[in-house]
Amino acid sequence: MDPTILAALSPAEIAALWEGPALEPPLGVMPDFDHPGGTHSLGYAVGLYAGFLYCCYDLAMNPGFRVHQWNIPLKQLPHLLYNSHIGSICYGLVIMLLKAAILLSWLRIFVPMGQRNAMFWISHGLIWSNVLFYGIGTAVEIFQCTPREKIWNPLYVGGSCVIEMPMHMRASGVINLISDVIILALPQRVIWSLHISNSRKVGLSFLFAIGAFACISAAVRLVYLLKMLASPDQLYTGSELLFWMIAELTAGFLIMGFPSLPKVVQSLPFTESVVSLIRMLTSAGSRDGTPGGSRQGLPSWYRRPSTRRARQTDGSDFDQHDLVFLHSTNASKEHADQDKIVREVTVSVENRSLETPSISV
């Protein structure tokens, strides 16, 4: 709006502008502030994790973490309790969806053909039991008091809270920890039963070891939950609890994304350039007779190809699915290039051997 027009308006007219629409509507359209339209479902689905982090961020901004409850006015407490209530709802739904996604990933990796084996039934049992448990827990959190305002208003007169929330929170913390441990241990049984070398088994187990951090976070979260429930200064102890709730959720997202990390690295534009540079330096060293090469011009990594047939039992489902080692990024391409170099070097050596019989590979 033109500043000259604004300067001529009275305070009442400016107040009326604030109460009016943010944009002049088309002709024949009446603004409806009570029912603006649009959809909220997508925002609800995307915003669960963000909603939980927002509640944590709001606490961090005001009054801050590790603040004693006697250092804030009572009028500020309803806002903190309301955010805590919303954060608990978001946490339960996020952890439910994360565990279901992790177990579905286990099924895709370890039971790719849909066999009805122990892994299949245990995974499905865990998926549905977690959905049922966290679904009920979320409903309990939402409807613990009637009316709901009694959840966050300590001075509300009337109403009732029929659910013993401290007991419910203790039980849910224990079950949450047990669930994390079972999900972490579930693939280990399959990994260690594969017909592969022990070194590869250790490597595969280490790939899933990040789940141990989720279990540790859940255990520490349970400890601080019990401390909070036993302390009258719940604002102080509750902020400690939030740290480990965030850690547990973050570990869950890492578990989901970690097996696909090598593919992400492989897709980066500089990955092939780095591999090519290393190969070029190695080849240059072998030609110049520098420490990078040895054995009369052959590169240090060269070995005579083995004539033994590789055991078929050394393969596993991991070679056919998304579970890839970080150190195997671009491995197939590197091996193909190395085999080509070996063949070229071998032909060169054989040709040289016709002139100089003393050269041996």
More confident residue, 220 or 348: 220
Strand ranges, E, within the chain: 145-146, 160-161, 293-294, 298-299
Q: What is the DSSP string of 219-272?
A: HHHHHHHHHHHH-S-HHHHHHHHHHHHHHHHHHHHHHHHGGGHHHHHHHSHHHH
Burial 119-158 (b: 16+ CB within 10 A, else e): bbeebeebbeebeebbeebbeebeebbeeeebbbbeeeee
Please tell me the predicted confidence (pLDDT) of residue 15: 86
Average pLDDT of span 334-351: 46
More confident residue, 336 or 219: 219
Lowest mean pLDDT among 12-21, 197-206, 335-344: 335-344
- CB-based contacts of 179, cutoff 8 Å, min separation 6: 99, 126, 130, 133
Centre a 10 Å sphere on the Cβ of residue 341 and count the other Cβ atoms it contains. Answer: 18
135, amino acid identity: G
More confident residue, 104 or 295: 104
In the DSSP assignment, the letter for residue 149 is G
Please tell me the predicted confidence (pLDDT) of residue 317: 42
Sign of CA dihedral 249, 251, 257, 261: positive
Domain-by-domain residue ranges, the chain?
47-265, 268-355
Work out the percent of the chain whose per-residue pLDDT is above 90. 34
Average pLDDT of span 163-170: 92
Paired strand residues for 161 = 145
Contact status, residue 221 vs residue 245, Cβ threshold 8 Å: yes
Contact status, residue 359 vs residue 353, Cβ threshold 8 Å: yes
Cis peptide preceding 147, ω within 30 of 0: yes
Contact status, residue 87 vs residue 52, Cβ threshold 8 Å: yes
In the DSSP assignment, the letter for residue 311 is P
Q: What is the pLDDT of residues 22-48, one digit of tens each?
A: 888 888 888 888 877 766 655 555 588
Query: What 3-state class would DSSP assign to 324?
Result: coil
Q: What is the pLDDT of residues 119-162, one digit of tens each?
A: 899 999 999 999 999 999 999 999 999 999 999 999 999 899 98
- Residues across the chain: 361
In the DSSP assignment, the letter for residue 218 is H
Centre a 10 Å sphere on the Cβ of residue 92 and count the other Cβ atoms it contains. Answer: 24
Q: Could you give the dihedral angle defined by the CA atoms of residues 144, 250, 189 and 108, in that order, rounded to the nearest 10 degrees?
A: 90
Q: What is the pLDDT of residues 93-113, one digit of tens each?
A: 999 999 998 898 888 888 888
d(CA 334, CA 109): 25
Centre a 10 Å sphere on the Cβ of residue 180 and count the other Cβ atoms it contains. Answer: 24
Q: What is the pLDDT of residues 59-84, one digit of tens each?
A: 888 898 889 999 999 999 999 999 99
